[in-house]
A and B are shown apart, each in its own frame.
Chain A
Amino acid sequence: MYSPKDIIDLLAANVRRTRNPFGVPKRLMNRWWKGLELPARADTLLYTGLMYQAAPYIEQTTSMLERFEDSKWAPYIGYARWMPNYLAGLGLYLMADGKEKTRAAGTLKNIVRILQSSGIRFGYRPELDFYSGILLYDLGDLDGFLEHARFVADRLQQAGVRRLITVDPHTTYALKVLYHKYLGTRLEVKTYFELAQFPPAGGDRSDTTGPVVVHDPCFYGRYLELSEVPNRLLTGLGYHCVPVRNSGPFTSCCGGPAESISPKQSREIMQRRVEELQATGAPIVAMCPICMGNLRKSGAQVEDLSTFLARAA
């Protein structure tokens, strides 16, 4: 286990200086939208919270943390926050796996396709798309979270934004629940899959669909109680959602939230969850970049919900 203080100080310093926990410059991190020509003027904005874009950096960082946990080098993590941000961020950007960056961009492009084929009118403004600060909240740095959340909420308010479409559970919870609770914001927040609509599946589609097992993230399953929606969509498209031992409000954690402070503990929890999911024998559907990255560490076949939905879009 790493010193929680060192990890929190490092992440909080990164968020303060660069507005994301990894210190990677946003212009390098958030490029998936280029070439899509999404309108900037719209009543409703797509808001990614940079979570899918962060997945390659999370993977890179946690694999390094896992290597040095409990070693003689572990106590030196605290010195990382003294490294110039542009250097650390650029280094992380260069080290992160290019395939993972392409995969993350592909997920967001799939989500755009799903929304467009569902007839949803929306825009995207990369200059307003910020990390939500949720990790600081989860780690107990309420002051750090609030400082960052105010920065984000002020920019959204100044731009007159009222309605947001989110793509991951952590950002959804932060904007929908925490920003309202602590800052009094009145944003209307919906996930992309709540807005997705597909014509009923006709005929036999068993050659393109089949059994799947859905891993509900804690934030969708318990905190936001949204598990029914992805299940209904998948079933409507002809997939057979195989029941798993723990799901919906009683879903099992993937272990992801512990990956920055104790990667070993995170892996133990993840392995238990993967065993539950693999007992069904079906491919795994995830809908959170943290869950996805963590479950994939086991070598299990895991795809994002948007991949399945985009096939019908």
Chain B
Amino acid sequence: MATISTQFVEELEHYGVDTTMDCFNCGTCAAICPLIYEHFPRRMIRYAQLGARERILEQANDLWHCLHCGLCTLTCPRQADPGELILGLRRLVVAEWRRADHV
């Protein structure tokens, strides 16, 4: 069971991502990604669309598998910029870590 955050898409805008809902989950990004790793980045993008914030934080380390090579962004048929979305999720996670360090 995962808690859903209905404001998560808006929250991501603070981290530079404004294309979260543009993705229609075709999987081109996962097919072109050199990682060939458990539906990456498609699954993370789906979590973001659903607002599964906690799930993303649980699996946060997976975000750093990304090479930031840009192939997913180049080939995305919806110009949903999956590479930037993953980078935005990294920023969110880093901000969470920094907040936790300061508590």
Binding site for B on A (CB under 8 A): 1, 3-5, 8, 138-143, 218, 222-223, 249-250, 252-253, 255, 257-258, 261-262, 265, 269, 272
Shortest Cβ distance from B98 into A: residue: A143
Cross-chain contact B68 with A141 (CB below 8 angstroms): no
Contact of A3 among B61, B89, B98 (CB under 8 A): B61
Contact bitstring B51-69, A, C-beta under 8 A = 1, else 0: 0000000001101110111
Contacts of B15 in A (CB 8 A): 142
Instruction: Output the nearest chain A residue to B89 by Cβ-Cβ distance.
Output: A140
The reply to whether B87 and A249 form a contact with Cβ atoms under 8 Å apart is no
Beyond A140-B87, A253-B69, A269-B67, 6 extra complex contacts between A and B, CB < 8 Å: A4-B64, A5-B97, A140-B89, A222-B70, A258-B67, A262-B65
Cβ-Cβ contact count across A and B, 8 Å cutoff: 66
Sampled A-B contacts (12; CB under 8 Å): A1-B64, A4-B60, A4-B64, A140-B87, A140-B93, A140-B94, A218-B69, A257-B68, A258-B65, A258-B67, A262-B65, A269-B34
B91 contacts A265, C-beta separation under 8 Å: no
Decide if A252 touches B34 in the complex (CB within 8 Å): yes
B4 interfacial by beta-carbon distance below 8 Å: no
Whether A222 touches B64, Cβ cut-off 8 Å, given contacts A5-B97, A140-B87, A140-B93, is no
Q: What residue of chain B has the Cβ atom nearest to residue A217's Cβ?
A: B69
Q: Which listed residue (B64, B71, B74, B97) contacts A261, Cβ 8 A?
A: B64
Asked whether B35 is an interface residue with its Cβ less than 8 Å from the other chain, the reply is: yes
A265 to chain B minimum Cβ distance, whole angstroms, is: 6
Q: Contacts A3-B61, A8-B94, A249-B74 given: A138-B68 contact, CB under 8 Å?
A: yes
Measured CB to CB, the closest approach of chain A to B89, in angstroms, equals: 8
Known: A3-B61, A4-B64, A252-B34. A222 touches B74 (CB 8 A): yes
**Chain A residues near B94 (CB-CB < 8 A):** 8, 139-143
For the complex, is B42 an interface residue (Cβ under 8 Å from A)? no
B61 CB contacts on chain A under 8 angstroms: 1, 3-4
Chain B neighbourhood of A142, CB < 8 A = 15-16, 91, 94
- Chain A residues within 8 Å of B70, by CB: 218, 222-223
Q: List the 6 closest pairs (A to B, CB-CB), nearest first.
A: A140-B90, A253-B69, A4-B64, A222-B70, A257-B67, A218-B69
